[in-house]
Amino acid sequence: MKDRYLDFVNSPFGTSIARSLGLPRPEVLRRHRADRAEFGGMAAIGAGPSPARFDDLLAVLSAIGMTSVAHESAAGWLPVAARHGAMSGRFEPRVRESLASERVEALIFDATGIAHGSELHALYAFFHDALRSLAKSGRIVVLGRASAACASVAAATAQHALEGMVRSLGKEARNGITSNLLRVADDASFESALRFFLSPRSAYVSGQVVTIDSPSSAPQDWARPLAGKRALVTGAARGIGASIATVLAERGAIVTGLDIEAARDALDQTMLAIEDASPSGGAHAALVADITAPEAPADIAAALTASGGVDIVVHNAGITRDKTIARMTGEMWDSVIDINLLAQERIDGVLLEQNTLRDDGRIVAISSIGGIAGNRGQTNYATSKAGVIGRVHAMAPLLRARGITINAVAPGFIETQMTARMPFGVREAGRRLNSMGQGGLPVDVAETVAWLASPGSAGITGNVVRVCGQSLIGA
């Protein structure tokens, strides 16, 4: 559904009306486009004492073609840049309303060496000087240490404090700027996550804390990291599931899209469009099944085994049956819990038991911010979606030995048929009560799923990533 307010206040006429009336003007978010460079421009670098990841950071920035300038808090950056043969200058804080050309595209702060609360001042120094230099739809990324890698209580305390900083920056920055924290183990690579959070693909992901706690290797081709992988997407006929199937295919995967009999035509259309757009063509498949049917897990496993197994399983199919608990029928409760939660358990059980899901596989389960915050009239839905998060936490350690990761993606307000059916007031509140002042698009969820499904994300498991524009709900 179109967001007419967003379109209006960003039209030439609407811009002046909004300005004269003092109306909020949400930014038109910069999203990925095939005809536009994904990265570019300049990153300003700040740091606390003893930053540990300058070399890795420089390697990523060089690989994606971003240049850098060092804030005075990052004194060691220039020698490291010189060692890498990378050009880097000094960051000069803005002294006046600057020209667009003086702005930087990203602010990156290496906080990995911060081991005591007294050292957090370096964050203040950097962001105080640099925040106003950040371009519209710019990116803030803070690198911290994973809890397990903190050597003392004081270090763990200071590292946790970073979360408050990053989330507050996301709320202050506005203008389509995102702010996220990567908590990285000493031996883990953060390239996959840093690329995602610096790119337009993460346009609607802000205020998130991602833990990367084990090493991973780079994909052969960052533009098509899923090449050679096979993926299953449930609920793929329309909405978020159709977008996930499309983006996974764009990123190189061969996709089996699954949906119910009633959605057969829409599913066929979605998979045909994917097939037409695929350079390799041919191999994508539509699978009609009700995920709650008793025979579904075995049938799905058989279909996937026939094509050689599966590497990526995306549990997206979901329903709402809203009523306050006193008015809710038992059938409304049961159907939501069964589709949104229990079917995932049964399907994964068979796929894992039969090794249909291959080693180094990926499971991504779609949750909801309703599962984090709860929602009036949605006891069944919120229970199911919180259960999805619980399952991700409990399964992650069990799957490590096989190199399989499992993560949850929790969308906020996403423009789909589901949200188009909401009453006007509820829909407008959902759209506006977040740092971006607008709803997300299915592609925002899909890009997040594709990032977590990538071989480069092997170190990310047991995480919950919200795609909610930093919604105030459940924050």
Q: Which residues bind ligand NAI (CB under 6 A)?
A: 234-235, 237-241, 259-260, 263, 290-292, 316-319, 339, 366, 368, 411, 413-414, 416-419
Which of residues 130 and 445 has its CB atom nearest to ligand NAI in the complex? 445
Which of residues 57 and 244 has its CB atom nearest to ligand NAI in the complex? 244
Provide the minimum distance between the beta carbon of 293 and ligand NAI in the complex, in angstroms, as a whole number.
8
**Active-site residue identified among 5, 124, 204, 381:** 381
Provide the minimum distance between the beta carbon of 308 and ligand NAI in the complex, in angstroms, as a whole number.
23
Angle between helices 379-399 and 343-353 (to 10 degrees): 20
The Cα-based distances of 472 to 3, 54, 247, 284 in angstroms read: 19, 33, 28, 39
Concerning whether 381 is annotated as a catalytic residue, the answer is: yes
Provide the minimum distance between the beta carbon of 271 and ligand NAI in the complex, in angstroms, as a whole number.
12
Residue 32 CB neighbours (<10 A)? 16
Residue type, 189: S
Written as six digits, the tokens of 324 are 């306050």
Provide the minimum distance between the beta carbon of 418 and ligand NAI in the complex, in angstroms, as a whole number.
4
Number of C-alpha atoms within 13 angstroms, CB side, residue 411? 28
Looking at residue 140, the DSSP 8-state letter turns out to be: E
Which of residues 137 and 368 has its CB atom nearest to ligand NAI in the complex? 368
Provide the minimum distance between the beta carbon of 129 and ligand NAI in the complex, in angstroms, as a whole number.
37
Question: What percent of the residues of the chain are helix, what percent strand, and what percent coil, each to the nearest 5?
Answer: 45, 20, 35
Written as six digits, the tokens of 296 are 């579904």
Distance CA(72)–CA(94), nearest Å, equals 14
Q: In sequence order, what are the residues at sequence separation of 6 or more whose Cβ sits closer than 8 angstroms to the Cβ of residue 353?
A: none
Distance CA(235)–CA(157), nearest Å, equals 42
Which of residues 239 and 456 has its CB atom nearest to ligand NAI in the complex? 239
Which of residues 101 and 417 has its CB atom nearest to ligand NAI in the complex? 417
Distance CA(318)–CA(282), nearest Å, equals 28
User: Which residues form the catalytic set?
Assistant: 381
